[in-house]
Amino acid sequence: MFGFFLISYFIYIAIKSKIALQMLQQNFYNESNRYLKWSIKNKYKSYITIDLLGFFVVLIIYFLEKPTFSYLLFFIFYASISYITIKKNKQEQVKKPLKITFRIKRLIFTESLLFVILLIFIWQNFNSYYLWFYYLILISLASLIYVVVYLAYVINLPIEKLTYLKYKRRAKRKLEIMKIPTVGITGSYGKTSSKNILADILSVKYRAFPSPTNLNTPLGLMLTVNNYLDKFEQIFIPEMAACITGEIKRICDFIKPTYGIITNIGLAHLETFKTEENIQKTKFELIEALPNNGIGILNKDDPKQVAYKIKNDCQIKWIGIENKDVDLYAQNIDYNSKGMTFDAVFTKDNKTVSFETKLLGIPNVYNILAALLVSQSFNLTYEEMQRGVKNIKPITHRLELKRVGDLNIIDDAYNSNPVGSKMALEVLKIMPGKKIVVTPGMIELKDKQYELNKLFGEYIADVADYVILVGEKQTKPIYDGLMAKDYHKKQISIVNDVKLAFPIINKIKDKETFVLLENDLPDLFNE
């Protein structure tokens, strides 16, 4: 009977564990203790929750000393809070749901095993006199489920290490057999855009394979090589991400890139990198891993790229827009609601070529320039480059212009940053009609977060007719920036969920309205 009435308890454990695992996954499996820091910082989501009322249930059970009643009370309590939690979760927008990977399955198995061991212990030593004590243990574990998930993570670390080494050996061996040129792409921002742009241009002449979306960590790229890289591919384009120093080097150890592109060096993941110097050093791990006959593509308009002393003798080629002392620069940039046109000047050939693309924004001009230099190394003609650039597909959530009903949406929802957000506002500025900005601001900027978001608010004030801020605490610096420019309070709305912005937009829109969606934070930043 005791076991039967635990059904509602384990339903609740399953619900709460799923949320905890989702947060562990979004915190990069506790890289640099991100998951632990998040759970402590967000204690009202993780520890101080409705299930703490269970301790009052234990008190009632202790004093009444009626086993049958206690079974029923315990069942009703967890059935009730399970219902409340499910209802609450349905109301919240899940932006990045839990992905049931093999690693998550292993964690679920380990966590389940911990509970099975506990139940076996209780069953073998069951005594109704200690019923209150059993309930106390069970309720404590439910309240500390984020700790239980962390314990399962720690127990699994040796298994994950062995899994990592196995995937690495397989990926390394496969690449050695295939012997295809590899173009590694890294940077603080714009990696995915740069990767897709290069793949689209090279695909005019070759079978170019860009790594799948967000599989940009060491393990993710091992899975990419082992499971997705086809033997008929001619060029591999892996996107390389990092949150800590040495991570790009770990990727390059088995990828062995022939070419390398650094999009830019900014302040992304400053909380885990600790310093700007660490970010700079980590991005250049790609260039320093290239062979002597390799080619690195760098941006001369980026001071952090120019200032770095490269410890490699490989060939370096430079792009620019402001700086003309480069191998390739862009001029006469013009863009509208349908895309962009610009001229690319190949300085060594003294050749100017005109390009048109559906993409928007200066960051994408830099990405195209870098791709053109790589394409030149693969012997694409200027005509093939023009065709490739014209055929570039818009990149999802990265200054993606789309029509939704009677609204024009500039979707820049992926991982906003100080440079990209300003560029997005410049794109919005040239659009006709009413201009609306929807944003939760920028994150992971450490001690510069307030300052840079406040500055972002000042930029918004110069462009937008209306502003919708997502998350009152998160967007306080943006609000302060708007107030610093005497922006009218009646033109500002604050919501706790981005989906609540659209009823407001529908009330205030004009015949021609452009909405900039600048950043969409994952669930762990929900207020």
Could you report the per-residue pLDDT of 393-435, keeping only the tens digit for each?
988 888 888 888 889 999 998 878 888 898 899 889 988 899 9
Sequence-distant (6+) residues with CB within 8 A of 462 are 425, 429, 485
What is the rounded average pLDDT for all residues in the chain?
91
Shared domain check, 282 and 139: no
Helix, strand, coil percentages in the chain from 3-state DSSP, rounded to 5: 55, 15, 30
pLDDT tens for residues 69-108?
Answer: 888 888 999 999 999 999 887 766 666 789 999 999 999 9
Among the listed residues 191, 197, 178, the one whose alpha carbon sits nearest the alpha carbon of residue 256:
178
pLDDT tens for residues 262-272?
Answer: 999 987 776 77
**Higher-confidence position of 94 and 367:** 367
The dihedral over CA atoms of 249, 253, 255, 260, expressed in degrees to the nearest 10, equals 40
What's the rounded Cα separation, in Å, for the pair 493 and 256?
50
Shared domain check, 378 and 247: yes
CB atoms within 10 A of CB 331: 11
Asked if residue 385 is part of any domain, the answer here is yes
Shared domain check, 38 and 119: yes
What is the pLDDT at residue 523? 65
Asked if residue 477 is part of any domain, the answer here is yes
What is the pLDDT at residue 498? 86
What's the rounded Cα separation, in Å, for the pair 442 and 23?
19
Which among 358, 390, 422 is the end of a domain?
A: 390
- Report helix, strand or coil for 54: helix
What is the pLDDT at residue 499? 85
Asked if residue 175 is part of any domain, the answer here is no
What's the rounded Cα separation, in Å, for the pair 527 and 523?
9
What is the pLDDT at residue 296? 97
400 token code pair: 């993606």
What is the pLDDT at residue 524? 59
What is the pLDDT at residue 93? 62
Strand partners, 290: none
Shared domain check, 336 and 206: yes
Shared domain check, 218 and 151: no
- H/E stretch holding 88 reads helix 67-91
Shared domain check, 411 and 358: no
Asked if residue 35 is part of any domain, the answer here is yes
What's the rounded Cα separation, in Å, for the pair 242 and 16?
29
Asked if residue 164 is part of any domain, the answer here is no
What's the rounded Cα separation, in Å, for the pair 259 and 290?
7
Shared domain check, 24 and 48: yes
198 token code pair: 């290069």
Cβ–Cβ < 8 Å for 357, 375: no
Which among 328, 358, 390 is the end of a domain?
A: 390
Q: Is 486 exposed, middle or buried (0-12, 13-18, 19+ CB in 10 A)?
A: exposed
Lowest mean pLDDT among 14-23, 41-50, 141-150, 506-515: 41-50
CATH number, domain of 422, equals 3.90.190.20
What angle (nearest 5°) sits at the alpha carbon of residue 212, between those of residues 209 and 214? 140
Q: What is the mean pLDDT of residues 441-457?
A: 90
Question: Which segment, 309-313, 343-347, 494-498, 516-520, is predicted with the most confidence on average?
Answer: 343-347
Please count the structural domains in the chain: 3
Asked if residue 169 is part of any domain, the answer here is no
Shared domain check, 410 and 376: no
CATH number, domain of 213, equals 3.40.1190.10
Asked if residue 170 is part of any domain, the answer here is no
Percentage of residues in the chain having pLDDT higher than 90: 70
- Check pLDDT > 90 for residue 61: no
Q: What is the mean pLDDT of residues 287-303?
A: 96
- Check pLDDT > 90 for residue 501: yes
Which among 344, 363, 390 is the end of a domain?
A: 390
What is the pLDDT at residue 94? 66
Q: What is the mean pLDDT of residues 455-463?
A: 96
**Higher-confidence position of 67 and 180:** 180
What is the pLDDT at residue 525? 66
Sequence-distant (6+) residues with CB within 8 A of 213 are 192
pTM: 0.82
What's the rounded Cα separation, in Å, for the pair 9 and 78?
5
Shared domain check, 191 and 69: no
- Check pLDDT > 80 for residue 5: no
244 token code pair: 């800590």
What is the pLDDT at residue 469? 96
Bridging pattern class, strands 466-470 and 492-495 = parallel
Among the listed residues 262, 245, 271, the one whose alpha carbon sits nearest the alpha carbon of residue 448:
271
- H/E stretch holding 332 reads strand 328-336
Shared domain check, 229 and 139: no
Strand partners, 329: 320, 345
Shared domain check, 127 and 74: yes
Shared domain check, 346 and 228: yes
- Check pLDDT > 70 for residue 323: yes
Asked if residue 395 is part of any domain, the answer here is no
Q: What is the mean pLDDT of residues 322-335?
A: 94
> Where in the sequence is the domain holding 509, given as residue range(s)?
400-525
What is the pLDDT at residue 445? 84
